[in-house]
Amino acid sequence: MIASQVAEPAAVPSGPSSRRQTSVIVLKRVLSEPLVHFLLLALAIFVGYRVLGAGLGDKPGNIVVTAPKIEQMATVFTKSRQRPPTAEELKALIDDYVKEEVLVRGALALGLDRDDTVVRRRLRQKMEFLDAAAAEVLTPTDADLQAYLQVNAAMFEIDPMLAFQQVFFNPQRHGDATARDAGSALEALQADPAANLAFLGDPTLLPPDLPLASKTSIGQTFGAEFTEELDKTPLDRWTGPIASGFGLHLIRVSKRVPGRVPALEEVRSAVAREWTNTKREELEGQRFAELFKHYTVSIEFPASAEAGP
């Protein structure tokens, strides 16, 4: 009879030697990661620049490429290329930055930035960007927005709205008799408000029934003067004729909704945007006034310029 044998599980290594083996495996895995290669490369380059330029950073004639600057260049490269830069590419980025710094300093030393409209405009924009950034981080409270809405109610007021019917008379078809023919049609409508409008006026692309719309949008179609006259007409009564850029119209206003100041929740985003814009302008004014205190302005007019009153 063959004796049955049961296989025993392999022994798990333990002790100092096994721990060393595990550490070596983990270390190999870490060192195989591309990100680790990139970080070690950046560190090596930075250390090299620091060693070569040690003690020289405070002197005007020296250029120090800092670790944050190298990280910034590498980050921009990674985002644009979707991969970290190689050693050669990172060195090229740093060399280009050094070249730019040398040329910029040379240009400033020669005064090439003076009286340059493009440079001056860019510097002004950067100063204004500082104010804009400072305003963007401000967070208004509901009380701030409500107060701003009350003070600037006209800016956010909801436009009055009107709905009306119209019968159109084309001056090109009626000539001098346009107003007379419109008056005759008005008498017919006042006598019979249910009369068929299609038989009273002239063909037009303008709809006979215009649904509820804002005064602004009506004015864009018919003209501001037409809208103002429309706003004066009584409800549910045919009146006219009222002139527009198209011709003459008989009008019956069926609905009128007055304008109003909306609740904060209806226009919160718009109020917050304008509040931020106002704060930015205030910051710009304050910072400019602070800078302006350090200057005395003298204006020398040309001899040929005529003196003002």
Q: What are the pLDDT digits (tens) for 286-308?
A: 888 888 888 887 777 777 655 55
The answer to whether 45 and 53 have CB atoms below 8 angstroms apart is: no
Q: Of 20-34, 40-54, 85-99, 110-124, which range is least confident?
A: 40-54
pLDDT above 70: percentage of residues in the chain: 78
Q: What are the pLDDT digits (tens) for 244-289?
A: 989 999 999 999 988 888 889 899 999 999 998 888 888 888 888 8
Tokens of 268: 């919160």
Q: Of 20-29, 99-108, 211-220, which range is least confident?
A: 20-29
CA–CA distance, 22 with 28 (Å, rounded to integer): 10
Cα dihedral value 120, 126, 130, 133, nearest 10: 140
For all residues of the chain together, what is the average pLDDT? Answer: 79
Write down the pLDDT at residue 196: 76
For the ranges 60-69, 130-139, 154-163, 187-196, the maximum mean pLDDT occurs at 154-163
Write down the pLDDT at residue 24: 52
Q: Element (H or E) spanning 150, and its range?
A: helix 142-151
Q: How many helices (H) and strands (E) does the chain have?
A: 12, 4
pLDDT band at residue 54 using 50, 70 and 90 as cut-offs: very low
Q: What is the mean pLDDT of residues 199-223?
A: 86
What's the full length of the chain, in residues?
Answer: 309
Question: What pTM was estimated for this model as a whole?
Answer: 0.48
- Among 71, 40, 65, 70, smallest CA distance to 52 is for 65
Q: What is the mean pLDDT of residues 236-243?
A: 89
| Amino acid at position 246, single letter | F
Tokens of 126: 């950067």
Write down the pLDDT at residue 274: 92
pLDDT band at residue 33 using 50, 70 and 90 as cut-offs: low
Write down the pLDDT at residue 198: 72
Write down the pLDDT at residue 109: 83
Work out the burial of residue 203: count CB atoms within 10 Å of its CB; fewer than 13 is exposed, 13-18 middle, 19 or more buried.
exposed
Residue 153 CB partners (closer than 8 Å, separation 6+): 261
Q: Are strands 238-243 and 248-257 parallel, antiparallel or unpaired?
A: antiparallel
Write down the pLDDT at residue 154: 87
Write down the pLDDT at residue 147: 93
Buried b (16+ CB within 10 A) or exposed e, 142-179: eeebeebbeeeeeebeebbbbbbbbbbbeeeebeeebe
Is the pLDDT score of 100 beyond 90?
Answer: no
- The percent of the chain in helix, strand and coil, each rounded to the nearest 5, is 55, 10, 30
CA–CA distance, 152 with 261 (Å, rounded to integer): 10
CA–CA distance, 171 with 184 (Å, rounded to integer): 15
Chain position carrying tokens 């018919």: 222
Write down the pLDDT at residue 217: 87
Is the pLDDT score of 204 beyond 60?
Answer: yes
Q: What is the mean pLDDT of residues 34-61?
A: 52
